[in-house]
Every structure is written in C-alpha cells, then in structure tokens.
Amino acid sequence: MAAHSKESLQKILSSPPFVVVDGVINIRDIGGCATSTTPGHVVKSGLIFRSGEPSRITEEGKNQLRALGIHKIYDMRSDHEIKNYKAASLDIEGIECIRVPIVPKELNDPVLLVQGLQSYATDELKTFLSSYDEGLEKGCSAFEQIVIHLRDEPAKACLFHCTAGKDRTGVLAALILMILGVSDEDISTDYSLTTTGLEPALPMLAARFENLPIFRDNWQGTLNMGSSRYETMMAFVDLVRKKYGSAEGYFKRYTTLVDEDFETLRRNLIVPKAD
C-alpha cells in the first residue's frame, strides 16, 4: 500500500478510531464496532485503547492520555525489548502502568529469530499463524489480567500495548472483540489499520532494524514480519474457532474465566448505537 501524503495521514490519525496522543504511535479506540449479540448495539467507545510503545510520549501526550480517561496502561513488552530498544515503561501521574510481559521465544534465541525471518520471507501467513498460536499460550496470563480489568472496572478506561501495537496487541484486541460479537471482517479491518497507524514511525522503526544485522540480512523477512494484512487476521480468527471453538473457549482452557465473566463483559461493554 502506498504511503499517504502528510496531510492525508494527519487527517486519518486524528479521526476515529484513531486518537491523538503526542509521542504515541498507532493509538486507537477499539470501540464503535457493531455487535451481533444485540442488534442495534455497538462496542462502547472510550474504554479500550490499543497502541504501540508509548515511551516517546511528551508532557502534552500525558495530558491527552489523562483527558481520555485512561486509568491503567498494560505493557506487554519483554524486558529484552525494553532494554534493547531503550524504551522504558511509563511513569505518568494519575495513571497506573502495569507490566504484563509476553515473551516470544525467538526474542531470546538468535537462531530461532533467523529461522523466523526466513519463514516470514517464504510463507508469511503460515508464520504469522504459528506465531499468534504460540502467543495465545504464552499470553494467557497477561490477557486474563486485562480482561479482568474490563470485567471489574468498566468505568475506568485502559490502554494495552506491545512494541508496534500489532501482534500481541492485535491478538488481544481480536479476542476481546470476538467475545463482544464483532464480525470477523470488522476485527480484521481494525487489525489492518496498524499499517496506517505505524506510518509516522516507519523511519524510526527502519533505523532500529537496519542497525541490527540479523534483520538487515533478511530485509524481506523483516518487512513481511512488520505487515498487518486483513487476510492475516481473518485466518487467525478462523484458527481460534477451529482450535478452541470460540474466544471464550480459549480463555476457559487457559485461565480462570468462566461464562459468567463473558456475560459481564458484554453487559459492561455493549451499548445501544447512537442515533
């Protein structure tokens, strides 16, 4: 997809579902989608936000986060990412920042990372599905903690993020939206918005990866790994249903959540569509 003009991109990123938080990449509200559970209803806006790493946030951005009503930020990055990318967790007055690290196996093993990049270069979709399938198992504790917040404190908005706000963040967003009865098409559209959401950060991300030989030596694999295609999420949602029956089935297998919790989530997060 061709990059947008500066003016066009600025307009998109300042319009829903994107929100403006100075210094934070790929930040948007996952509310507003129609839900099949109750006709004429949508996922409540202003409660669940997703983003890439917010480590470059400015003072203005901190004020903008508070203005959005965000009370908690869940950081799914590993210690390795925070150290390597010199991207510390946030300390923002009035907002609780909680570490819930999910560590992809290749982050700690250069051999696995090389193999992964080779796989992304030759079979992007299959590699994403394998990675996201692994993420479901590794991420269950982190995902549960965030879902429990949505269950127990629905009036307090939260933000969850990883590094790019694409993979771990995209998987969790998809699971939440599945529980709320959002269509596969709308879930996949939300995922694909990361392509646009990351445009302002592309020079920074390119410089970061070009400085690391392991990525520079397989640039096609690196580019494919950074994609966020609609078709990838459509295939992932299908994988969840085939393996677990539903998003609820996934959480019931790996966490303490039960049917009553999902009913509470739907009561908390589904509202009539505004006229």
What is the mean pLDDT for each group of 10 consecutive residues in the chain (275 residues)? 80 97 97 94 98 94 97 93 78 94 74 89 95 96 98 97 96 99 98 95 84 87 91 99 99 98 98 90
CB atoms within 10 A of CB 69: 13
Contacts of residue 163, Cβ cutoff 8 Å, sequence gap at least 6: 52, 53, 77, 81, 85, 87
CATH superfamily ID and name for 7-268: Protein tyrosine phosphatase superfamily (3.90.190.10)
Beta-bridged to residue 111, according to DSSP, are none
Asked if 137 and 255 count as a contact pair (C-beta separation under 8 A), the reply is no
CA distances from 143 to 6, 111, 150, 176, 203 (A): 35, 28, 11, 9, 30
pLDDT of residue 189: 98
80 vs 106: CA distance, rounded Å: 11
Task: Give pLDDT, residue 121.
Answer: 93
Residue tagged 């930040």 (tokens): 27
Give pLDDT, residue 2: 56
Write out the two tokens for 130. 């394998």
CB 18 within 8 A of CB 197: yes
User: How far, rounded to the nearest angstrom, does the alpha carbon of residue 126 sit from its chain's CA centroid?
Assistant: 20
